[in-house]
Amino acid sequence: MVRAGTVLAERYRLEQRVGSGGMGEVWRAVDLVLGRTVAVKCLLGGLPDEPVFVDRFRAEARIMATISHPGVVEVHDFGADPAVGVYLVMKYIEGESLAQTLARVGRLSPEATMRLVASAAEALHAAHEKGVTHRDVKPGNLLLRPDGGVLVTDFGIARSAGASAQTATGSLVGTAGYIAPERALGRPATPASDVYALGIVAYRCLAGRLPFAGDSVVEIAMRHVHDEPPPLPPDVPAGVRAIVERAMAKDPAMRWPSGAVLADQARRALAQGPHQHQHRPAAAVIPPEVASATTRPQAVVPVPPPGSMPVPTRSQPARDRHRGGRLLAVVGAGLAVAAVAAVGILLNLPADAQPQSLAASPGAGTPSPAGAGGAVIPVASVGATNPAASPSPAGALPSSAATTSPKASAPTTALAAPGNLTATPISAGTIRLRWKDRSVGESGFTVIDGSTSRDVGPDTTTYDWTGLAPSSYSCFKVRAFNSSGVSAYYPAAQETWVCAISLSGAGPAAPGNLTATAIGTSTIRLQWSDNSSDEDGFTITNGNTSRNTGAGTTAYAWDGLAPGTYMCFKVRAFHSTGVSAYEPAAQSTWVCATTPTA
């Protein structure tokens, strides 16, 4: 254990621990050679023995050394010592993090917020100019100096365009409350992702709260993808509001094209003063390189390697389509790790999915992209192909024999449309649909796949679409109805559907009733029911790594964890010809537990 008084490399004497982050802890120290106060960052206990963390730590030192800007902490030295392993020596800055300030004061004035945004955006732009994307912009990584300056810190999960990946295959790292929508969907981080995160920071400063909350990091991350943030307080000037709203645009191409442009707009808002309610920032030309940037991300959210969970893609053979996905585990002090499961995905989410009239909703001549009858067809890559372009027969939208919802000609009413529709394959013949009930007084809901429709009762939020062939690609919409009419469909845009592929049917039955219980500071016990009679074993995953156990096993002790670790799990069965669905089956549902700190 590192203690005050420890001397590293016969030069740096540690005096006081002043903070900790996702990989390490920071000490105020004295450089005994030059007689100056410095900050020393050491890897957290246990991590010096992990090559991937050492490599990432070394990469952080090199990345910070390439950026020369007053808003980025200066690096003095990098070395190794038996007492702590590798360490990073930086300039020591008096001050506190923005997170500490907000915890004390709640929210900031528009003027203070724009001043902070301008300084941070300039520092991020300097990093972007060097090909570095920070990937974890948040209040805890913004240091406020007594003179009012702002420094961007903790490049521990930053990514250099010229560097090789440091995280596990398909993993995604970051903090759920500040993660950009494209990153929540597993796409690479770009400078636009940092601009979005800084926009969320500004929102937090102005509103005194984050725009999105939830019961899990997965839920929070997906709200960044699907939900519009609540309006900022009315005392926020219109010009400031517009700057923040554009930084938080869902579409990266619609955000401020660079940190430099964002900084300029923030300074213009400052120059306008408190009476700039009618000011709107000028439009900026968005260069194509913003959309094509390929700088990749940082934290630990899995975009699963083969054998994890299924993401339908056109290039995947049908036998593998039941195995994609993305998951999430929060591991380590201060680092929220967001992982998004993608078994069922929303294709081509519009930037502003506004409800539309029934005339523009799926109806006659508007088939599901999956085609009639849930036929097995090639699957478009996420965001690559408009699903409306998929081959499918046109024709009137039929209803099931049991349907009782209003006909397509019925007028829409004030009935609110449902929201947040998801689709999760749970067997070879079934896809489970879930949605949020946003209406009051509905008689029921109609679910369609573009070929048939099925009705369910009021207050229903889950429906199992059965009768599918193995490996069927199907796409869905849902709407509410009552005796007066129908709501708009969700998703609202005519070409947008929620799609999933049923399982191949080759694997054993899925396990059930997974539970997770911390049984010590380093171990979480997992238990489940064995519903299969022919499995060869079970795979337990936390979204970053997986471990196998033998046939007939119904419990496993996941050990080697640090105290205070929050981790989430799924389990599935396997045998020589395939794998089962995961338990829990829903793409956004995990079984989680936290090890005690002592």
- pLDDT for 24 equals 67
Could you read off the pLDDT of 85-122 as tens digits, one per residue?
788 898 898 888 999 999 999 999 999 999 999 999 99
96-300 has which CATH code?
1.10.510.10
pTM for this model (two decimals): 0.47
Does the annotation list 477 as a binding residue? Answer: no
pLDDT, mean of residues 516-529? 93
pLDDT for residue 477 is more than 70? yes
- pLDDT for 302 equals 31
What CA–CA distance (Å, rounded) separates 432 from 478?
A: 13
pLDDT for residue 290 is more than 80? no
What CA–CA distance (Å, rounded) separates 210 from 197?
A: 11
499 versus 13: which is more confidently predicted?
13
What CA–CA distance (Å, rounded) separates 227 from 41?
A: 37
473 versus 13: which is more confidently predicted?
13
Residues that are catalytic = 136
- pLDDT for 534 equals 81
pLDDT for residue 325 is more than 70? no
The CATH architecture of the domain made up of 304-343+507-594 is Sandwich (2.60)
Please answer whether residues 593 and 526 qualify as being in contact, where contact means their C-beta atoms are separated by less than 8 angstroms. no
| Run of H or E residues at 294 | none
256 versus 62: which is more confidently predicted?
256
- pLDDT for 261 equals 95
Residues in the chain: 598
DSSP string for 450-519: SS-EEEE-TT--EEEE--PPTT-EEEEEEEEEETTEE---BS-STT--EEEE---S-SPPPPEEEEEEE-
- pLDDT for 463 equals 93
Confidence of residue 285 (pLDDT cuts 50, 70, 90): very low
CA 472 vs CA 118, 233, 497: distances in Å = 50, 47, 15
- pLDDT for 216 equals 74
CA 268 vs CA 121, 122, 153, 177, 265: distances in Å = 14, 14, 25, 28, 5
pLDDT for residue 148 is more than 90? no
Q: Which residue has the tokens 């679910």?
A: 447
Confidence of residue 509 (pLDDT cuts 50, 70, 90): confident
- pLDDT for 473 equals 75
The dihedrals phi and psi of 575, each to the nearest 5 degrees, come to -145, -170
Bridge partners of 42, per DSSP, are: 25, 87
- pLDDT for 565 equals 86
The dihedrals phi and psi of 319, each to the nearest 5 degrees, come to -70, -15
The dihedrals phi and psi of 124, each to the nearest 5 degrees, come to -65, -40
Check for a shared fold between 304-343+507-594 and 344-503.
Answer: yes
- Greatest pairwise CA separation for the chain in angstroms: 85
Average pLDDT along the chain: 72
Minimal CA–CA distance to 476: which of 312, 318, 362?
362
Confidence of residue 466 (pLDDT cuts 50, 70, 90): confident
Confidence of residue 506 (pLDDT cuts 50, 70, 90): low
Q: Which residue has the tokens 């109806």?
A: 363
Task: Pick 344-503's CATH classification: 3.40.50.740, 3.90.1300.10, 2.60.40.10, 2.40.50.140.
Answer: 2.60.40.10
- pLDDT for 559 equals 92
- Answer positive or negative: Cα dihedral of 307, 313, 315, 317: positive
Most confident option among 60-64, 86-90, 217-221, 460-464:
460-464
The three-state DSSP-derived secondary structure of 154-204 is CCCCCEECCCCCCCCCCEEECCHHHCCHHHHCCCCCCHHHHHHHHHHHHHH
Domain ranges of the chain: 7-91, 96-300, 304-343+507-594, 344-503
pLDDT, mean of residues 465-489? 86
Residues 6+ apart with CB under 8 A from 162: 131
pLDDT for residue 504 is more than 80? no
- pLDDT for 53 equals 55
pLDDT, mean of residues 255-280? 80
Q: Name which of 5-14, 68-77, 578-587 the model is least confident about.
A: 578-587
User: Count of CB atoms within 10 A of residue 555's CB?
Assistant: 10
pLDDT for residue 27 is more than 80? yes
- pLDDT for 59 equals 67
pLDDT for residue 417 is more than 60? yes
Q: Name which of 76-85, 253-262, 302-311, 566-575 the model is least confident about.
A: 302-311
DSSP string for 542-571: -SS-EEEEETT--EEEE--PPTT-EEEEEE
pLDDT, mean of residues 288-300? 30
Confidence of residue 577 (pLDDT cuts 50, 70, 90): low
Confidence of residue 62 (pLDDT cuts 50, 70, 90): confident
CA 561 vs CA 20, 333, 381, 524, 569: distances in Å = 18, 12, 36, 8, 14
What CA–CA distance (Å, rounded) separates 441 from 498?
A: 25
Tell me the fold of 7-91.
Phosphorylase Kinase; domain 1 (3.30.200)
